[in-house]
């Protein structure tokens, strides 16, 4: 999990969201709407929007117009296995993590791939020690 993730206000333009993602090397931003967690926007959402609106925009397009408004939200104590299974079952790339309803973190497929790689490395090291003994 990435704790204390960056977020973007629903009224900001998708250009601001894109710039934030680029600056921080991330692909998902929780969206705050009227002071509360209201959705999530991904780099893919922005890319699709750019492709569909293949022309210069004279009026900035707000994040709220393209974000997912019903994101997968879990409490901090939700078992990781349940989160991973849900992400796989519904083919989504992230879960927003809250603590008592407040934004606490985000779990992305990148986080999960890093965890898996670490676990595989640990298994290889343990297996390697057994072979040497």
Summarised one tens digit per residue, pLDDT across range 13-57 is: 999 999 999 999 999 999 999 999 999 999 999 998 888 876 666
Q: Are 29 and 40 in contact (CB under 8 A)?
A: yes
pLDDT for position 131: 53
What is d(CA 1, CA 97) in angstroms, rounded to the nearest whole number?
8
Q: Quick one: which of 76, 77, 74, 79 has its CA closest to 94?
A: 74
The string of pLDDT tens digits covering residues 104-120 is 999 999 999 999 999 99
Task: Tell me how many domains the chain contains.
Answer: 1
pLDDT for position 128: 64
The CATH number of residue 121's host domain is 3.10.580.10
pLDDT for position 93: 93
State the pTM of this model: 0.84
Domain ranges, residue 76 = 2-132
Is the per-residue pLDDT at 86 higher than 90? yes
Q: Are 124 and 23 in contact (CB under 8 A)?
A: no
């Amino acid at each position: 999990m990435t704790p204390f993730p960056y977020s973007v206000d629903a009224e900001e333009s998708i250009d601001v969201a894109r710039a934030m993602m680029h600056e921080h090397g991330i692909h998902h931003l929780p969206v705050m709407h009227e002071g509360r967690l209201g959705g999530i926007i991904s780099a893919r959402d922005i890319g699709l929007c750019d492709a569909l609106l293949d022309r210069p925009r004279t009026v900035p397009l707000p994040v709220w117009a393209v974000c997912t408004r019903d994101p997968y939200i879990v409490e901090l104590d939700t078992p990781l296995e349940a989160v991973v299974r849900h992400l796989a079952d519904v083919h989504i790339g992230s879960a927003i993590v809250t603590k008592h309803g407040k934004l606490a973190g985000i779990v992305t497929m990148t986080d999960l791939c890093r965890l898996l790689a670490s676990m595989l490395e640990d298994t290889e090291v343990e297996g390697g020690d057994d072979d040497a003994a």
